[in-house]
Amino acid sequence: MEVNNNYDFSLPVASLLRVGTSQAHEAAENSQGGVRLVKGELDKEEYVYFLMMLWHVYDELERGLETHASYPTLQPTYNPTLLARTPSLSQDISYLLGVPEGEWQMHPSHSSLMASPPKSFVDYTTRLRELSGCSDPSRLLAHAYVRYLGDMSGGQFIRRRIAKAYNLDLDRGSGIQFYDFKKLDSSESANMGDLKKIKEWYRDGMNSGIGDDVTLKAAILEEANDAFKLNASIFELLGGPESRVDQPQQPAVSEPKQSKALYEPILVSFGGLLSVAMTVGLAHFVLVGTGSMSGNCALRGVEYWLRSFLSAA
């Protein structure tokens, strides 16, 4: 891929990301839904809706990290006992809905989300699934960085606002387990000082895993900016019920197929033919745009490109 010379790629990747994602980070924080979340202004139904989407985001992310736990760029930061958020999200959702943990996915709220999921939610989970299928899954690190370090930073402020908004007990932690991290060396809940140590450990692991590879740093930076944009698009769904109604709805989320059949409906929709310009562009994407990606990752990249093209058409 082409390296953006506007940044100092001699910096360790964690320092590079702090500088290179600042604008995207600020845009996500200042989105309407992001502001309402931070201020504790979401009603409980909206907040649970948000947690349900997050559960699916983390489910995709953490399954991908588990699949590639020994991959050199991901191994130094892989610690599900310390970081995994999927179980705590499930606990919070069930508590806030007042149902047993094993039953919240059958709740009407979740059934409605999955029956017609918003496009931005589908885009986010689809992208994570694509990266998990890549022969080089390094870009997953960018998504883990954006989510985990955000949860340990601004998430701690949100935790207090959420507890106040829904009359939750901060000490017991029921309904706000998502924001609770354990110490690096024990099962006790981490305070702000402990969280700082965890973030330092994580950044050191990132720097160790990525090393001095400039092309890899550029790829991680690009993906981290995209991750912030995907998060911002989820925040935009928190502008009230009308923000979800107005967004194009997608078919229920399902695993993408890995065969020619995936693309046959697309070809049929164009009368069985793609224009010469599209064909050339698609070939260019596969051979050039995927950079160091190959095999299954390139195929998933084409799928992502086609989905984006069709949704914009």
pTM value is 0.79
What integer pLDDT is reported at residue 172 of this predicted model? Answer: 92
Q: Tokens 């895993």 sit at which residue?
A: 209
| Cα dihedral value 287, 288, 289, 295, nearest 10 | 40
Q: Which domains does the chain have, with CATH numbers?
A: 13-255 (1.20.910.10), 256-313 (no CATH)
Query: What digits encode the pLDDT tens for the residues 18-76?
Result: 999 999 999 998 888 999 998 999 999 999 999 999 999 999 999 999 999 999 999 99
Per-residue pLDDT tens over the stretch 217-261:
999 999 999 999 999 999 999 976 555 544 555 555 544 333 333
d(CA 236, CA 54): 14
158-199 pLDDT, tens digit each: 999 999 999 999 999 999 999 999 999 899 999 999 999 999
Please state, in angstroms and as integers, the Cα–Cα distance from residue 122 to each residue in 108, 252, 285, following that order. 19, 9, 22
Rounded CA-CA distance 213/10 in Å is 9
pLDDT band at 1 (very low <50, low <70, confident <90, very high): low
| Cα gap 197→219, rounded to integer Å | 26
